[in-house]
Amino acid sequence: MEAPRPSLADGVYGAELERRVDEAAAAIRTRLAAVPELARPRLAFVLGSGLGNVVQLLDRDPRIWIPYAEIPNVPGSTVEGHAGEMVAGLASGIPTLVLSGRAHAYEGWSHREVTVLLRASLSLGITIVVVTNAAGGINPSFEPGDVMLITDLINLSGDNPLRGPNLDRFGPRFLPMTDPFDRSLLAQARAAATRAGVTLREGVYLMLSGPSYETRAELRMLRTLGADAVGMSTVPEVLVARHHGARVLGFSLITNKATPEMKGEVTHEEVLAMGPIGAGRLLALLRELLPGLA
């Protein structure tokens, strides 16, 4: 057995992490086996706050709903705007998993724990992962309701889901991250936005640990660092997906101004209220994108 490591006090790493991932994957595999055309998913969506309508991309039938509470070792989300369920279906003929809602590190989980569900999903054969989030717009030209194509990442969360003994069967010890997002998928997303008539912003997403929003001094710092949007998620999923060898595409819905000059305070209610506007635009873009992924 592996000796305890004080720097990884949650104990969810190495053989224990692999056991949890395999147990979760087995439970999902068993549920999907009931519908053969859904048994080998190739595409996964990870949905952020207020983005549950992406489930509309799936055909009405067949569908399988699996609450996170019914998947072993998967933490549920306590945050409003996150459904906390997996929905399996066909999207433009592609067997797809929609992870509707996510657990966050600020709820008390490590990055290894919050990505158990995605690792389990990737173990089933997922080759493309589309990550989404609600984010504050650091770039002063961004407006609430904008959709931003994520072109790069900055991880200032203080954690990394790849810490601890490497799971060699999933990926390498030292993961290259010079280009976290697949260039071909980025080009396809731009073309899909044009066809859908959606104005697509582009920029760098920066992750902080949360759950508090940023001070004005922090926002000045983040702008200096080169961030265009800031949030409290997404980076762990991108790292894990890339570790498994999946191609990744990401979008941020800009729900609020996050500039040092902004007036008033940011609230979670404001974030949720702006979500449907950007979500409708993202849905239109994804409808155009999906046929090219088949």
All structural domains of the chain:
11-164+176-293 (3.40.50.1580)
- Residue (of 88, 39, 54, 100) closest to 290 by Cα position: 54
Looking at residues 11-28, what average pLDDT do you find? 96
Active-site residue, 104 included: yes
The Cα–Cα gap between 104 and 268 comes to: 15
Burial class (CB in 10 A: 0-12, 13-18, 19+), 210: middle
Residue 63 confidence (pLDDT): 96
Q: Supply the mean pLDDT for the chain.
A: 92
Active-site residue, 106 included: yes
Active-site residue, 49 included: yes
Q: What angle do CA 243, 244, 250 make, to 5 degrees?
A: 75
Catalytic residue among 106, 166, 196, 218: 106
The Cα–Cα gap between 18 and 1 comes to: 13
The Cα–Cα gap between 222 and 227 comes to: 6
Contact 105, 10 (CB under 8 A): no
Active-site residue, 92 included: no
Catalytic residue among 68, 73, 82, 135: 82
Catalytic residue among 232, 241, 246, 258: 232
The Cα–Cα gap between 198 and 37 comes to: 32
| Predicted TM-score (pTM) of this structure | 0.93
Contact 46, 237 (CB under 8 A): yes
Active-site residue, 111 included: no
Residue 264 confidence (pLDDT): 67
- Residue (of 114, 132, 135, 126) closest to 219 by Cα position: 135
Catalytic residue among 27, 166, 268, 284: 268
pLDDT tens string 118-142: 999 999 999 999 999 999 999 999 9
Active-site residue, 82 included: yes
Residue 59 confidence (pLDDT): 95
pLDDT band at 266 (very low <50, low <70, confident <90, very high): low
Active-site residue, 233 included: yes
pLDDT tens string 24-63: 999 999 999 999 999 999 999 999 877 778 899 999 999 9
Residue 279 confidence (pLDDT): 87
Residue type, 294: A
Using only C-alpha atoms, the chain has a radius of gyration, in whole angstroms, of: 18
Catalytic residue among 110, 133, 233, 252: 233
Active-site residue, 2 included: no
The Cα–Cα gap between 130 and 255 comes to: 19
